Structure 1
């Protein structure tokens, strides 16, 4: 079996967990979060896990940018200071995309890829404590409250939400909350009551990869500029940034320019059955390379609109 492929038995376990989760979430009393993978036998809810990094993304597919973000140290000043635990979250609902779009990986495929990302982190981190969770909640602030309710731990762990520039700009759009006042209520609960922190990846202004990805870089640079404007403009994002609850952090420049969109495009436009393994390995974690090459998830061209 290739290192980047999950055993069929493990895929069946994930499918079963996904089926049970989706079948029960419509019930009022059913939990809207389910741990489907953990480095340890139990979820990272012991007293030692007081600083938990949460990576919440669509993982369509996971990239080296996701990996670099997850591997950030807890402190800028002391790079040896690591998080006590990492939680990778996949939501079965997306605030913009619902349950998915044509050409997307299926929910099961993405769940498999998130587990492979978790296994990469287990290789790379000095003391890994990784969990993968399914949630039925599209909004970050509500997910934070959901996790705290699920753990019900005292003292409550501090959650550090790792995200890219595209995500943070969506998080602070009032349209997702019904009104600006409601957004401010959510931010107060998230930052003040729950003491959560947002850690946003800041991309470098120039890439070390020359001119090969100019169009992609231009789009990502625009996202970075939108983040700077968001944090400089009056509003809750600016206020909490000034208080230190929103941090901008630099990730590995070689990983910073990788995006899920670029990976999907690369796989769709490569010669049939012959995408470059070496090139793909520069875009996604090592544990994902064989999976993407053998599963053919993004090989088919998108349907005509």
Structure 2
């Protein structure tokens, strides 16, 4: 399906997502899958990639993180169908989110999911099994913290038996790793001990984020070495956790930094060329059609 063919289908999904969000907000459910691309059932995965973001909007940086993880994760168990979950936290669903509503973000996530499947198919065009070997799901969750999200997904039974299921590989930026390993998020004892629930079963694939306040490549490598050297054991961390953290470099030194903020600024500036560099064609067309981010 090309970009123009997507639009009528996506317009019809707006009220569907709006109703689904209202129902989810008032329910006791903590996690729900709202859409699957392609919409076909598959066996429970051995590895579940989780890309958790505000998707406001989804960008080509998200695309690159997801595609490289799916294609280059040497630690993943071999299986014919890869599964990736695009996850949106709605802990403030009772308030009007800005600058794009949750239902608009879910539409963009759905368009992005189709673009992502196409991108992987193009990379694997010589492998017929690989060309149909990716399922991308769009889901919502109420939990705001990584620790809680991992447990909720695991206990949901959506990916196999409750309290079991696949190895989760959370795809994050370096800034998210900093927050994950910050004791202030784990009251009342403010220790990293609770993270054993993640690192005993799951992995974190972290994309270096250079060129901003997080420092350069060397500084980010050094941060991870403090964990490996036992320098954070007094905070409850374990040295062996470092084997569950893959720090990857997905951007060349002079490559443009892509962010959702840059996308929103490009829209306000009417810079179509910049917008094409920052988001996929499908997401761009939806932003322009719906006139998103003009009033931010």
Q: Report how many residues are paired.
A: 268
- Counterpart of 1:245 in structure 2 is 244
Match of 1:160 among 165, 169, 172: 169
Per-residue CA distance 1:49-84 (angstroms, 9 max, x = gap): 1011100011111111111111124545599x7872
What SS class does the counterpart of residue 283 from structure 2 fall into? helix
Instruction: Name the CA distance, whole Å, in 2 between partners of 1:227 and 1:237.
Output: 18
What SS class does the counterpart of residue 169 from structure 2 fall into? strand
- Counterpart of 1:34 in structure 2 is 32
Instruction: Name the CA distance, whole Å, in 2 between partners of 1:16 and 1:38.
Output: 18
- Counterpart of 1:294 in structure 2 is 289
Alignment CA distance shift 1:77-1:145 (3 Å): closer
Matched, 1:7 2:32: no
Instruction: Name the CA distance, whole Å, in 2 between partners of 1:99 and 1:164.
Output: 27
Alignment CA distance shift 1:237-1:66 (3 Å): farther
Alignment CA distance shift 1:69-1:143 (3 Å): same
Q: Is the 8 A contact 1:255 1:283 kept in 2?
A: no
- Counterpart of 2:58 in structure 1 is 62
Note the residue ranges of structure 1 that are not aligned, 5 or more in a row: 25-29, 206-216
- Counterpart of 2:90 in structure 1 is 92
1:265 Cα deviation (Å)? 2.1
Alignment CA distance shift 1:118-1:144 (3 Å): same
Instruction: Name the CA distance, whole Å, in 1 between partners of 2:192 and 2:74.
Output: 32
Alignment CA distance shift 1:150-1:104 (3 Å): same
1:98 Cα deviation (Å)? 9.9
Matched, 1:150 2:153: no
After TM superposition, the structure 1 = structure 2 runs for residues 98-113 of structure 1, keeping only pairs within 5 Å, are 103-113=98-108
Instruction: Name the CA distance, whole Å, in 1 between partners of 2:257 and 2:157.
Output: 35
What SS class does the counterpart of residue 36 from structure 1 fall into? strand
Match of 2:135 among 112, 129, 135: 129
Instruction: Name the CA distance, whole Å, in 2 between partners of 1:129 and 1:255.
Output: 29
Q: Is the 8 A contact 2:59 2:259 kept in 1?
A: yes
Alignment CA distance shift 1:282-1:238 (3 Å): farther
Match of 1:16 among 8, 16, 19: 19
- Counterpart of 2:109 in structure 1 is 114
Instruction: Name the CA distance, whole Å, in 2 between partners of 1:179 and 1:201.
Output: 30
1:173 Cα deviation (Å)? 1.6
Alignment CA distance shift 1:160-1:222 (3 Å): same
Note the residue ranges of structure 2 that are not aligned, 5 or more in a row: 121-130
Per-residue CA distance 1:214-233 (angstroms, 9 max, x = gap): xxx444x5386774454233
Q: Is the 8 A contact 1:258 1:283 kept in 2?
A: yes
Instruction: Name the CA distance, whole Å, in 2 between partners of 1:180 and 1:247.
Output: 28
Q: Is the 8 A contact 2:266 2:274 kept in 1?
A: no
Matched, 1:171 2:180: yes
Per-residue CA distance 1:126-147 (angstroms, 9 max, x = gap): 3221111111100111111101
Q: Is the 8 A contact 1:4 1:288 kept in 2?
A: no
1:260 Cα deviation (Å)? 0.9
Alignment CA distance shift 1:224-1:110 (3 Å): farther
Instruction: Name the CA distance, whole Å, in 1 between partners of 2:96 and 2:13.
Output: 23
Q: Is the 8 A contact 2:184 2:190 kept in 1?
A: no
Alignment CA distance shift 1:132-1:188 (3 Å): same
- Counterpart of 2:259 in structure 1 is 259
What SS class does the counterpart of residue 86 from structure 1 fall into? strand
